[in-house]
Every structure is written in structure tokens, then in C-alpha cells.
Amino acid sequence: MDAAAEGSPGRTLRLMAIGTLAGLFSGLFGVGGGSVIVPLLVLSLGYDERTATATSLAAIIFIASFAAATQGLYGNVNVLDAVLIGVPAVAGVLLGARLQQRLQTRSIALMFAVVLLASAIELVLR
């Protein structure tokens, strides 16, 4: 536990390791990296899941910005498409979070898993 104490070198090293891993994952796949950060914060630093999710989102601001900037150097970023997706996505997240309070999300999660699988097949067959 000492290694994970606030401000200790061990804690900083762990955060650095998590940041590096999340950065690799994010840069390689073009995603935020939350699915890497959240479990690592829970397992290695004793975070509860909600604090881990919240802190991961804040870290992703940096991670996705760095990765997007690096991709920009390769000339791969379609800025207009990113804006056209990112801005409505913000509205979508707010709406989704609101709906979450009222809906039973279990069946939605299962339906969405099917959509993901179908899209994965579509990608592979391309």
C-alpha cells in the first residue's frame, strides 16, 4: 500500500505506466483508452469504479489530443469529419446519460453488443 500512497514515487511510476499503456492503446486503435485505464486504476491504485471512470475521462483529454496531434503529422486527420462527429457526440452523451436514469439499459447493452459484432464482421469482410 505504501507504494500507492499519495505523492509517493511508486504511485507516480504506476500512473506513468498506466498513461504509457493507455497512450499506446489509444494511438494504435484510435480510441480513448478508458477500457485500459479504468481497470488498471482499480487494480493497481485501489480506485472505485466511478472515480476511475471520471479520472480516466480527464486523462483521455490529454491522451486523445496527443495521439490526434501525432496522427496529424502523418496527415491522417479529417478535421471536418472530426468536428461533425465530435460536436453532435457531446449532445448525444448528455442525452444518453439522461436516458440512463430512466431506462433499463440491460437489453440495450445486449442489442448494442450485437451491433458491434455485426460491424466487426463487416470490417473483416471488407
Q: Map the footprint of another protein across residues 31-60, applying CB under 8 A.
A: 31-35, 37-38, 41, 45, 47, 49-51, 53-60
Nearer of residues 3 and 28 to another protein, judged by Cβ: 28
**What angle do the packed helices 49-73 and 34-45 form, to 10 degrees?**
140
Classify burial at 121, counting beta carbons within 10 Å of its beta carbon; exposed 0-12, middle 13-18, buried 19 or more: exposed
**Which of 1, 9, 18, 43 touches another protein by CB under 8 A?**
18
At 22, which helix (H) or strand (E)?
A: helix 9-29
Q: How far is the CB of 2 from another protein (least distance, A)?
A: 17
Cβ 38 vs Cβ 53: under 8 Å: yes
At residue 73, what are phi and psi to the nearest 5 degrees?
-65, -30
The yes or no reply on residue 24 touching another protein (CB under 8 A) is yes
The yes or no reply on residue 81 touching another protein (CB under 8 A) is yes
The yes or no reply on residue 76 touching another protein (CB under 8 A) is yes
**Which of 22, 42, 43, 44 touches another protein by CB under 8 A?**
22
- Through-space distance between the first and last CA atoms of the chain, rounded to whole angstroms: 49
Nearer of residues 43 and 117 to another protein, judged by Cβ: 117
At residue 38, what are phi and psi to the nearest 5 degrees?
-60, -55
The yes or no reply on residue 109 touching another protein (CB under 8 A) is yes
